[in-house]
Structure 1
Amino acid sequence: MVQAVAAPAPAPAQSPAAEPAFGDTTRLLIAAQGDGRRAGTDLPMVGEAATRAWERYMDSFSQPIPEWFNDQRGVTEQ
């Protein structure tokens, strides 16, 4: 004997507005990286690389600031 079974109701069709717009996922991931939700942990710099970077940083203070750095030509007043 065959028993009649009610067919499941069809799933409602999703309107195109319900789908995320192109690029939304990328924007959300970039925002999460920027605000720290997906940021990686800090990694220390050790050894010779750290020493050389520190020396370059300290040596930068022994150089005079170039004159062109303070040149205001082409800069508009606000």
Structure 2
Amino acid sequence: MKQTKQLTGIIEREGDGYVSLCPEFDIASQGDTIEEARNNLIEALQLFFELADPSEVEERMHTEVFVTRLVVNIG
């Protein structure tokens, strides 16, 4: 039976493309578009879950990830 897991995806522009990151497992990918970077990250995560030993999954899992906006005074 297939399981699903909700994870965080952070995508940012880098040069002419986009970099995507899943902070829960520190797994990253990239693509020429936002959608491609997102899909490539999903594929990288699926491969990780297929190939990784359960102990590695548990060891790499960051259970508390918070995404927030910051206001910083400059100058």
Q: Name the TM-score class by shorter chain.
A: under 0.3
TM-score under structure 2 normalisation?
A: 0.26
Structure whose residues are more often strand by fraction: 2
| Greater RCO structure (CA 8 Å; 6+ sep) | 2
